[in-house]
Amino acid sequence: MTAILEGRNIVKTFTTRRGGQKHEVRAVGDVTVAADRGEIVGLVGESGCGKTTFSRILIGIETASSGTVLHDGKPVATKADWKALRRDVQYVFQDPYTSLCPTMRIGEALAEPLLVHGIGDKSERAERVREALSLVGLQGFIADRLPSQLSGGQRQRVSLARALMIRPRVLICDEIVSGLDVSVQAQVLTLLTELQASLGLSLIFISHDLRVIRYLCDRVVVMYRGEIVEQGPVERVFGAPESDYTRGLLAAIPDHSRRGEPRLGLRPAGHEGARLA
């Protein structure tokens, strides 16, 4: 089967200047990840491992230094290719406080993707807004509200609804449950699994929380310092991790189901922060 969305051999280097000298930072080094139809792929790793940069390259917010993004098996090269890709792939950002325009009513914010892609007339758009709100479990009157009048959980549902407006086939979710309370997080995770099942969506789900990845994903890709250290079905990676880094990460998870066993002692931070391996 051809993957709907694939980043193949993606490399991204940033250039910084320090004291007049150029330094190259390799944020992503030769990473290949593909999502099949209806599949939930988890990208996991610590801050700075390149997971967000990689996912931004997938929809063209960042440009890869080298490597190819493939949409339905075809390389995305021209402006028209990217437009077609964004018609199919939508991105949900981490922070529901900064990703919604504070002066735009929720209804307008939800209708905007339809305007951008030239879909429907005014009444059709209003209908789609109502549909999308009910899809994410929000009532119709929310359309008249401003983001400041909503709770964090409601805003994250609105962000999801906005990403679903143009009926994409792939959602890229960047840490979308990280800032939420546990009970709200459970509501959003449940919603995601329902949407995936009913709409046949593929998800690229980025998180640093391995418990959430374990729960939600079919397959997981573990990244460290811009490279993939391990990937495979979640049962295998969590049950029998092959890399020392994955083992270290798993041992570092606080888990109330683990009976009083202390977490693995991790090496103290060196100059560049923590190293697990």
Partner 1 sequence: MSADPALRFEHVTIAFPGAEGPLKVVNDVSFAVGSGQCLVIVGESGSGKSMACQALLGIVPAPGAVSGQGIFWEGRDLLKSSARDWMKVRGAEIAMVFQDPAAALNPLMPVGRQIVDVVRAHRSVTRAEAERRAIEVLNQVGFPEPERRMRAYPIELSGGLRQRVAIALALACGPKLIVADEATTNLDVSIQAQIIGLLRSLKEELGISIVFVTHDLGLAPEIGDEVLVMYAGHAVERGPVREVLDRPSHPYTIGLLNSAPTLESSRAHPLKPIPGQVPALDEIGVGAPFRSRCPVVVSGRCDSAKPDWTACGGGHFVACHRFAQDGIGGVQ
Stretch that binds partner 1, among 3-11, 107-115, 122-130, 214-222 (CB under 8 A): 214-222
Tell the smallest beta-carbon distance from residue 44 to partner 1 (Å): 10
CA distance 247 to 253: 10
How many Å from the N-terminal Cα to the C-terminal Cα in the chain?
Answer: 35
Neighbour tally for 240: CB within 10 Å:
10
Q: Please list every residue from 236 through 275 that binds partner 1, using CB under 8 A.
A: 238, 248-250, 252-258, 260, 262-266, 268-274
Stretch that binds partner 1, among 8-16, 61-69, 92-100, 232-240 (CB under 8 A): 232-240
Tell the smallest beta-carbon distance from residue 224 to partner 1 (Å): 11
Beta bridge partners of 221: 43, 231
Helices and strands of the chain, counted as H and E runs: 9, 10
Burial track 69-107 (b if 16+ CB lie within 10 A, e otherwise): bbbeeeebeeeeeeeebbbbbbbbbbbbeebbeeeebbb
Q: Please list every residue from 57 through 116 that binds partner 1, using CB under 8 A.
A: none
Binding of partner 1 by 208 (CB under 8 A): yes
Binding of partner 1 by 187 (CB under 8 A): yes
CA distance 189 to 182: 10
Query: Which residue, 20 or 265, has its beta carbon nearer to partner 1?
Result: 265
CA distance 206 to 34: 14
Binding of partner 1 by 203 (CB under 8 A): no
Say if CB 54 and CB 7 are below 8 A apart. yes
Query: Which residue, 82 or 238, has its beta carbon nearer to partner 1?
Result: 238
CA distance 10 to 65: 8
Query: Which residue, 90 or 154, has its beta carbon nearer to partner 1?
Result: 154
Report strand pairing: 74-75 vs 66-71: antiparallel
Task: Give the SS3 label for residue 12.
Answer: strand
CA distance 108 to 103: 10
Query: Which residue, 80 or 182, has its beta carbon nearer to partner 1?
Result: 182
Tell the smallest beta-carbon distance from residue 55 to partner 1 (Å): 18
Tell the smallest beta-carbon distance from residue 43 to partner 1 (Å): 14
Interface pick for partner 1 out of 27, 133, 234, 237 (rule CB under 8 A):
234
Interface pick for partner 1 out of 127, 131, 144, 181 (rule CB under 8 A):
181
Tell the smallest beta-carbon distance from residue 124 to partner 1 (Å): 31
Binding of partner 1 by 198 (CB under 8 A): no
Total binding residues for partner 1 by CB under 8 A?
Answer: 50
Query: Which residue, 141 or 215, has its beta carbon nearer to partner 1?
Result: 215
Q: CA-CA distances (angstroms) from residue 43 to 3, 165, 168, 172?
A: 17, 24, 20, 10
Binding site for partner 1 (CB under 8 A): 46-47, 151-153, 181-187, 189-190, 193, 208-212, 214-216, 234-235, 238, 248-250, 252-258, 260, 262-266, 268-274, 276
